[in-house]
Structure 1
Amino acid sequence: MKYKLTTGDYVFNSINYVVLTLFTLTCVIPFYYLFINTISDNTLVTKGLIVWLPQGIHFANYIQILKIDGLFNSVLVSVGRTVLGTVLTLVGTTFLGYAFSRPEFWKRKIWYRFVLITMYFNAGIIPWYINMKNLGLLNNFLAYIIPSIVAPFSLILFKTYVESIPSSLEESADMDGAGYMTKYARLIMPLSKPIVATLAVFSAVGQWNSFTDTLFLMTDPKYYSLQYMLYQYLNESNALADSLRQAAAAGSQVNLATVLTPTGVKMTISMVVVIPILCVYPFLQRYFVNGIMLGAVKG
C-alpha cells in the first residue's frame, strides 16, 4: 500500500535532510580540517592560513612521525593491549554480568553493589601505584590488561540487557539439560551481539587512547604504548622545530615548508591516533545505538 506524501510531509522531510546534512558536516569537517593541515605547508599552518583547501601539499609530517625510534614496537604494544584487553574485558564483564542477572546467584545484590561502588570511590594515584607495584605489574604488559578485565559501567549495561531477554528461552534450555556455561556461550552471547559490540567499542577506544598507565608504570621503552611515544615526541617537538629553524637561519638547506612545527606535530599525531578508530567504528556502528539503548532501559 503506497502512501501519498502531503505538502507537510515534503516540508518535514526537507527540513530533516537539511538538519541531518548540517549535523553530518559538523562531524566530518573537523577531521577534514585536521587532515589538510597535516599535509599543507607548515609555515602556513602555523599562521592559521589553511582553512578549506591544502596548500603546498607534502607528507613530510607523516614521514617524520614514522621515523620515531621504537615506533613499530609501540604500535605492537598498543594493538596488543587493545585487542587482548578488549577480548578479556568482554569475557570478564559479560560473564560476571550474566551471573549477576541470575536470581539464584548467592548474595548477588551485595556483590553487585560491591563492584559498582568502585565507579564512585577510589584510593587515588599513590595507593593505586603502590598496589600495582606490590602486584608486580611495573614494567609488565599485564598492567594494561588485568585492571580492565571487569568494567563496572559495561557490566551495568550488559546485566540490564540480559535481564531484557525473555526468561522462557533459558527455561527451554534448562529443559534440554543446558548448564550455565552452555547457556552463556550458546544462548546469551549470540543474543547479545548489539550490546557486546557497544562494549567492544567502549573498551577498544579506552585501551587505544590510554597513556597514563604507561606514564606511571612503565620505564622500559619496550612497553611504551603508541600514545605515550607520540606524547613524548610532542613534548620534544618545540626543541626539534627550534633546532631546524636555527639551521635554516644559519644558511643550511632546510625547507621550512616541510619542517615540523609544534602545531603540525599536534595535528599529525591526532590524525595518527584517530585513524584506527575511524576504520573500526563503521563496522560496529550499526550495533552501537541499538545496544546502548537496550542496555539502558532498566536501572
Structure 2
Amino acid sequence: MKKEQVHQHKTKMKESFGDRMVGVICYIIFSLCALVCIYPFYYIFINTISANDLSARGVILFWPRGIHFQNYVSALKIDGLFQAAKISLGRTVIGTFCTVGASAFLGYMFTQEDMWHKKFWYRLLVATMYFNAGIIPWFLTMKNMHLTNNFLGYILPAIVSPFNIILTKTFVESVPKELQEAAEIDGAGTIKVFLKIMIPVIKPIMATVAIFSAVNQWNAFQDTLLLMTDTKLYPLQFILYQYLNQASSLKALANSSASSGAMAAASATAQTATSVRMTVTILVVAPIMFVYPIFQRYFVKGIMVGAVKG
C-alpha cells in the first residue's frame, strides 16, 4: 500500500513539474506576443511626450526624451475635435445598444419553431453575408432614405448584423429549452420570455456582440466619407483620417491655435507633422481600449459557445 502511494506521489511530482514547464513556456510565448502587440502603442505614446525634433528624426525607440505634454495641449485646441468626439461617442453608444438589442432578439426569434417562415428569413439573412450590391446602390439607397448628412446614417445600417445574429442564435440554442417551456407554462409570452428569461442567460454573447459593435462603430470612417459633408457630423476617426493625410498643414493649425507664448517655444515642443499624427492617434485610439477590460470576462465564454454550432 505504501509503495503504491509513493509511486502515485512520484507520478504527481513528475506531472506537476511538466505542467510547470509547459506553463512557463506558455507564459514566455504569450508575453512575447503581448509585447509585440503593445509596443506599437507604447512607441506612439512615448513619441507624443518626447521632444518633437527628436521624434521627427525617429530616434525615440524605447524610452521618452525631453518629456513634455504640449502636443496634447495643442491637439485639444484644434477646432472640431470635441464635436467629433461627441459624434464618435454618440454613434458608438447608440449604435452598440441598437445592434446588441436587435441581434439578441432576432437570434432568439430564429430559434422559435412558431416563427413565420423562419427558414426562409434565416437563409435570406445569411445570403446577405455573401452577396453585396456595391457602394453605388448602397449610396443611392441611403440617399433615397434621406440618411445623407443625417446622424441616423451611422446607426440604422448597422442595426441588423448577420454575423452577430448567427452568433447569438447559436448561443441561444445552447440554452436548455426547459427554461422557456417552464415560463410558457406559467403564461409568459414570447416577449416576456425574451426579456425575463433569455436576456439574463445570454449576457456573455451580448457582451461579445457589444465589443464587436463598439469597435466597428468607433473605428468607422468610410460611411462618413461617402455620406457626410456636414463637418458637424464628422467622427474622430474621420478627423484622424484627415490629419494623417494633411498633417504637414495641420501642424501650422495646431501652432496657430496655441497661445503666443507657446508659439515662441523651443523647437523641442513646436508641432511637427509626426507629432500631430501620433498625438491624434493616441487621442482617438485610447477611449476604445477601455472597452475591452469591461467586457473581457464575458468575451471568451460568449465567442466559444457561440462558435460551437452553426
Are residues 1:263 and 2:240 paired?
Answer: no
Equivalence for 1:125: 135
Equivalence for 1:279: 290
Shift of the alpha carbon at 1:27? 2.6
Give the aligned residue type for 1:291.
G
C-alpha distance after superposition, 1:171-230 (max 9, x if no partner): 111111111001101111100111000000000011111111111111112211121123
Are residues 1:292 and 2:291 paired?
Answer: no
Gaps of 5+ in 1: 246-251
Output the CA distance in 2 between the equivalents of 1:181 and 1:84. Answer: 22
Equivalence for 1:110: 120
Are residues 1:204 and 2:220 paired?
Answer: no
Give the aligned residue type for 2:111.
S
TM-score by length of 1: 0.91
Equivalence for 1:85: 95
Give the aligned residue type for 2:305.
L
Gaps of 5+ in 2: 1-8, 256-262
1:119 is paired with a residue of what secondary structure?
coil
Equivalence for 1:171: 181
Equivalence for 2:59: 49
Q: Give the 3 Å change call, closer, same or farther, for CA 243–76 of structure 1 in structure 2.
A: closer
Shift of the alpha carbon at 1:161? 0.4
C-alpha distance after superposition, 1:245-267 (max 9, x if no partner): 9xxxxxx9453222332322222
Output the CA distance in 2 between the equivalents of 1:9 and 1:138. Answer: 59
Output the CA distance in 2 between the equivalents of 1:261 and 1:121. Answer: 45
Aligned residues: CA RMSD: 2.0
Quick check: 1:237–1:260 contact (8 Å CA) kept in 2?
A: no
2:290 is paired with a residue of what secondary structure?
helix
Give the aligned residue type for 1:259.
A
Shift of the alpha carbon at 1:236? 2.6
Q: Give the 3 Å change call, closer, same or farther, for CA 170–33 of structure 1 in structure 2.
A: same
Equivalence for 2:3: none
Equivalence for 2:190: 180
2:64 is paired with a residue of what secondary structure?
coil
Quick check: 2:75–2:254 contact (8 Å CA) kept in 1?
A: no
Output the CA distance in 1 between the equivalents of 2:241 and 2:66. Answer: 27
Shift of the alpha carbon at 1:33? 1.4
Quick check: 1:85–1:145 contact (8 Å CA) kept in 2?
A: yes
Q: Give the 3 Å change call, closer, same or farther, for CA 177–230 of structure 1 in structure 2.
A: same
Judge which range, 230-239 or 181-190, deviates more. 230-239
Quick check: 2:74–2:254 contact (8 Å CA) kept in 1?
A: no
> Percent identical across equivalent pairs?
53
Output the CA distance in 2 between the equivalents of 1:155 and 1:5. Answer: 48
Equivalence for 2:258: none
Quick check: 1:244–1:254 contact (8 Å CA) kept in 2?
A: no
Output the CA distance in 2 between the equivalents of 1:24 and 1:233. Answer: 29
Equivalence for 2:42: 32
Q: Give the 3 Å change call, closer, same or farther, for CA 72–243 of structure 1 in structure 2.
A: closer
Judge which range, 283-292 or 264-273, deviates more. 264-273
Quick check: 2:48–2:275 contact (8 Å CA) kept in 1?
A: yes
Judge which range, 53-62 or 6-15, deviates more. 6-15
Output the CA distance in 1 between the equivalents of 2:127 and 2:20. Answer: 51
How many residues align? The count is: 291
Give the aligned residue type for 2:292.
Y
Shift of the alpha carbon at 1:124? 1.2
Quick check: 2:52–2:271 contact (8 Å CA) kept in 1?
A: yes
Output the CA distance in 2 between the equivalents of 1:101 and 1:257. Answer: 62
Output the CA distance in 2 between the equivalents of 1:241 and 1:82. Answer: 28
Are residues 1:95 and 2:105 paired?
Answer: yes
Q: Mark the structure with the bigger radius of gyration.
A: 2
Quick check: 2:52–2:270 contact (8 Å CA) kept in 1?
A: yes
Structure 1 outlier segments of 4+, above 6 Å: 242-245
2:128 is paired with a residue of what secondary structure?
helix
Output the CA distance in 2 between the equivalents of 1:264 and 1:241. Answer: 8
Q: Give the 3 Å change call, closer, same or farther, for CA 240–146 of structure 1 in structure 2.
A: closer
TM-score by length of 2: 0.88
Output the CA distance in 1 between the equivalents of 2:122 and 2:150. Answer: 30
Give the aligned residue type for 1:271.
I
Q: Give the 3 Å change call, closer, same or farther, for CA 216–298 of structure 1 in structure 2.
A: same
Shift of the alpha carbon at 1:154? 0.2
